[in-house]
Amino acid sequence: MPTTTTTAPPQTVEAEIVSIGVGFLPNPIEINVGDTVVWTHVDMAPNIPHTVTSQGVAPPDDFDSGLIFEGATFQVTFDNPGTFSYFCTVHPNMQGQVIVN
């Protein structure tokens, strides 16, 4: 008999880059290995750029969006389990975590 494994198909999870005050939502983001997180810049102040930049994350799991402006998106597929912290390099008080199960 062949071995049967049940694996959930990869999901795409939406997240928002809200503002300097609110930061990222949801936070933390909890996903499964293989899922992709898509962050969208929804700041009401469209000229304020933000970044989604990993912090204290070793390669190959590190990531950096560069500057993101109004309506732009940035996505990361998480291939390894763990808790990955990230922040905005423009506004270091904006911090978040992705928990990959």
What is the nearest approach in angstroms of Cu ion to the Cβ of residue 87? 8
Tally Cβ neighbours within 10 Å of residue 85.
14
Structure tokens at 39: 């962050």
Per-residue mark of binding to Cu ion, 5-44 (x: CB under 5 A): ----------------------------------------
Distance between CA 2 and CA 5 in Å, rounded? 10
CB-based contact 43:51 (threshold 8 Å): no
Tally Cβ neighbours within 10 Å of residue 46.
11
- Which one of 5-13, 26-34, 45-53, 74-82 is the stretch in contact with Cu ion (CB under 5 A)? 45-53
Q: Which of 18, 94, 98, 100 binds Cu ion (CB under 5 A)?
A: 94
User: Which residues of this protein are in contact with Cu ion, per CB under 5 A?
Assistant: 50, 88, 90-91, 94
